[in-house]
Amino acid sequence: MLYVYNKEDGKRMAIPAQDLTIGDWLVRGETGAAVEVMSIHKRTRRGAYTPMTATGDIVVNGVVTSVYVELEEFQPYLSSAMQLWLQHAAFAPYRLYC
């Protein structure tokens, strides 16, 4: 999940990386400033990597991303924001333990 600025109201929202398009505005980690997407290159990795952070976010190459994913089978029932919130809540005991 990547954080972008909504084109309609300028608010930050999370979208699946596969939905990112040229012209979207990503959120920079240090300042929260907007960075326009100029090109997109797909990378595929084998395996699953899920870092756990206290906030559920991580900065990768200067861009704020979520450590959680959106599950397509829940899209008709739960918004991206609700899915992130539920995943973060579900991992709260683990984060507290660590």
Per the listing, tokens 């984060």 go with 95
Tokens, residue 24: 């979207």
Other CB atoms closer than 10 Å to residue 2's CB: what's the count?
Answer: 20
Could you read off the pLDDT of 60-92 as tens digits, one per residue?
Answer: 889 998 888 877 788 788 888 888 889 889 988
For residue 98, pLDDT over 80 is answered with no
Could you read off the pLDDT of 14-36 as tens digits, one per residue?
Answer: 888 888 999 999 999 878 889 99
The answer for residues whose C-beta is within 8 angstroms of residue 20's C-beta and 6 or more apart is 2, 4, 37, 40
Angle at CA 87, nearest 5°, toward 62 and 33?
Answer: 25
- List for the chain the helix, strand, coil content (%; round to 5): 25, 25, 55
